[in-house]
Structure 1
Amino acid sequence: MAEAKYDVLAIGNAIFDVLVRADEKFLVDHGMTKGSMTLIDEVRAAAIYRDMGPATQMSGGSAANTIVGVASFGGRAAYVGKVKQDQIGGLYTHDIRAAGVAFDTRPATGGPATGCSYILITGDGERTMNTYLGAAQDLTPDDIEPAAIAASRIVYLEGYLWDPKNAKDAFVKAATIAHGAGREVALTLSDSFCVDRYRGEFLELMRERTVDLVFANEAELHSLYQTSDFDAALAQLRKDVKLAVVTRSEKGCMVASNDGVVAVPAFSIERLVDTTGAGDLFASGFLFGLVRNAGFENAARLGALAAAEVIQHIGARPQISLKELAKQNGLPV
């Protein structure tokens, strides 16, 4: 097998995040389901933006957050996602490249604006996302560069890609190229509401071995198998995919493989501020640990460390070097 150029290449919806603190009344007044991710149109996006308070803005999207985390650990990272050649698209491109991520997807010159997500953070740290996909939904198979995919140890895909049809085709193309080159393919289920929409298709991706590794949280796992029995769902997950990680917030995570199940605790935190990006950053640590052959337990500990860092401040990107943080905690980097 050829030497890999990248440790992880992530493909996702390139979304510019607009994060703002809000109270429960704001969610009720705007008809939002707390903790959910809802797709919205440009008119709805404008209405939310008009009514909300001061915001923190940064490049985002689930897989983009993960790949920035991989780079922060010192991994060789690349990203594929679609923005428009507009002001926000320019900010997005600069932001992700400045984080040490290779980002060479051609921007769209026409069509909808660069995608945005209005993320409302309530006092308990829960985030409610309202996402205008915009240009992100115009990611097509033509944006998948075979050489870059084949040169990546792990190709990481987000479940949100299953919303736009063209992106779904790009996802399948990338997985096919990766496996043809002897690489691994990982998928995050993204959101329990996303699983509700595409349960059958996600199970097919797993059972047909289109994906080798699946990330899910408890809500997504229960949604996937339509059961409230955690142990039964975990047992079925082990049958359906080669490797899976189920995150359980403060209870840590479970790494499930053919060899058995390993439970790894969460890192303690001083204060929960914002859960945005917790799962994304967990995935970054786990993926980095895998490509460094650190073993499942250490990979999960790296993931837990990254998640703990990101939930103690606003925003889904690490504010300090995850590589240095791992060294301070005696973890292999």
Structure 2
Amino acid sequence: MTEPKPFNVFGVGNALLDILALVEDNFIETHDLNRGAMTLMDTIKQGKLLQQLESHPLELRCGGSAANTMMAIAQSGGTGIYSGKVSADTNGEFYQQDMIAAGIQFEIEPADTTQGPTGTCLVLTTPDAERTMCTHLGVSTTLSVTDINVDHLSQCQYSYIEGYLWDAPEPRQASIQTMEQSKRLGVKVAFTFSDMFLVERFGDDFRALLTEYCDVLFCNADEVRHFCGTEDLEACASQLGEKVNQVFITNSDQGCLVVENQTLIHVAGFPVKPVDTVGAGDAFAGGVLYGLTNNLTTAQAARWGNYLGSQVVQIHGPRLSESQHHKLAEIIH
């Protein structure tokens, strides 16, 4: 028998400090921002927006898509190691401490500040719960193959890689290296499309990844319809199920559609009134990955993911403030 691995998940992502603000609709219009989407911007433009928000209360959280997923794993009672690049600045220090305080190992050497600042994501939430994100990736785009600790990876049951890493060459290589090493070490590979714009830009890359490396795929209904070129969600699910063993497709308040060994399962969601949709998909993936690595059935894992996602949309920001493990038995019964 092989020894059980001590950690559940090895996460790789853009380490971004989230700066959260609640704004009125006219703030988005006045600054000509792409409402409901994520826009990359330089330090100067992001800095100008922050100046305009001086009178608003701002909250700081260590973030980035995969980081939020790792947080959800920890809050479910799971364990993990996170790889993301921060700078040796105050934001980087805050990020590292926030991650460790949440129970996730984070041991990447910070970059020298001459390479750029820690990445930041300004998350603007309007009264209808829509989030508009203004992101400066900073030093996160320098995450490289040498930052992937293969010894740490070998101690995890799954690796989890976010699609956002495809946007810069070094993180893309680091992602592929993580997948290749995972295959070599018997670590299962989970991947998330992350965003519609990535599916549009890197669809062919993602198709190759799914066939070659992927054991588990996370995506939402819009992304998968675009990826598969059809509006029929079940047809999309079947198409993906031919490439990947397990597929989890979130479909807002309708819960999710799961494909396992080419069999489709609908798992009901939790109807709630959303306040802020940021981080819901990330929390869902964390709940599922916790379930898959802690002896839940696939349907139970999806149900737990749906629950965490439904809790996150009821708060401002991408993650819950406390452990959710005590709710597990009640939710997945």
TM-score (norm 2): 0.95
Task: Please state if 1:20 is matched with 2:15.
Answer: no
Aligned residue in 1 for 2:98:
95
Aligned residue in 2 for 1:118:
122
The CA deviation at 1:171 is 0.5
Aligned residue in 1 for 2:296:
294
Aligned residue in 2 for 1:243:
246
* 1:153-192 matches, cutoff 5 A: 153-192=157-196
Structure 2: stretches of 5+ with no match in the other structure: none
Match of 1:219 among 217, 222, 237: 222
Structure 1: stretches of 5+ with no match in the other structure: none
The CA deviation at 1:3 is 2.9
Q: 1:47 to 1:81 in 2, by over 3 A?
A: same
Task: Please state if 1:79 is matched with 2:82.
Answer: yes
AA matched with 2:142: D
The CA deviation at 1:40 is 1.1
Aligned residue in 1 for 2:152:
148
AA matched with 2:308: A
AA matched with 1:158: E
Worse-superposed segment, 88-97 or 51-60: 51-60
Asked if the contact 2:38–2:133 (Cα under 8 Å) also holds between the matched residues in 1, the reply is yes
Asked if the contact 1:37–1:193 (Cα under 8 Å) also holds between the matched residues in 2, the reply is no
Q: 1:199 to 1:259 in 2, by over 3 A?
A: closer
The CA deviation at 1:330 is 4.5
AA matched with 2:139: A
AA matched with 2:47: A
Aligned residue in 2 for 1:205:
209
Q: Distance in 2 between matches of 1:135 and 1:234?
A: 36
Asked if the contact 1:127–1:275 (Cα under 8 Å) also holds between the matched residues in 2, the reply is yes
Task: Please state if 1:30 is matched with 2:31.
Answer: yes
Q: Distance in 2 between matches of 1:153 and 1:196?
A: 30
Q: Secondary structure of the residue that 1:49 maps to in structure 2?
A: helix
Map Cα deviations across residues 296-329 of structure 1 (whole Å, 9 max, x no partner): 11001110111111111111111231101223x2
Asked if the contact 1:254–1:263 (Cα under 8 Å) also holds between the matched residues in 2, the reply is yes
The CA deviation at 1:229 is 2.9
Aligned residue in 1 for 2:266:
263
Worse-superposed segment, 179-188 or 43-52: 43-52
Q: Secondary structure of the residue that 1:308 maps to in structure 2?
A: helix
The CA deviation at 1:226 is 3.0
Aligned residue in 2 for 1:308:
310
Q: Distance in 1 between matches of 2:240 and 2:262?
A: 13
AA matched with 1:63: A
The CA deviation at 1:183 is 1.2
Identity of aligned residues (%): 35
Aligned residue in 1 for 2:5:
4
Task: Please state if 1:325 is matched with 2:327.
Answer: yes
Aligned residues: 329
Q: Distance in 2 between matches of 1:204 and 1:259?
A: 19
AA matched with 2:228: Y
Q: Distance in 2 between matches of 1:156 and 1:288?
A: 12
Match of 2:73 among 70, 73, 76: 70
TM-score (norm 1): 0.95
AA matched with 1:36: A
Aligned residue in 2 for 1:51:
52
Q: Distance in 2 between matches of 1:159 and 1:67?
A: 15
Map Cα deviations across residues 182-238 of structure 1 (whole Å, 9 max, x no partner): 110001111111211211111110022x11111000111122123333233222111
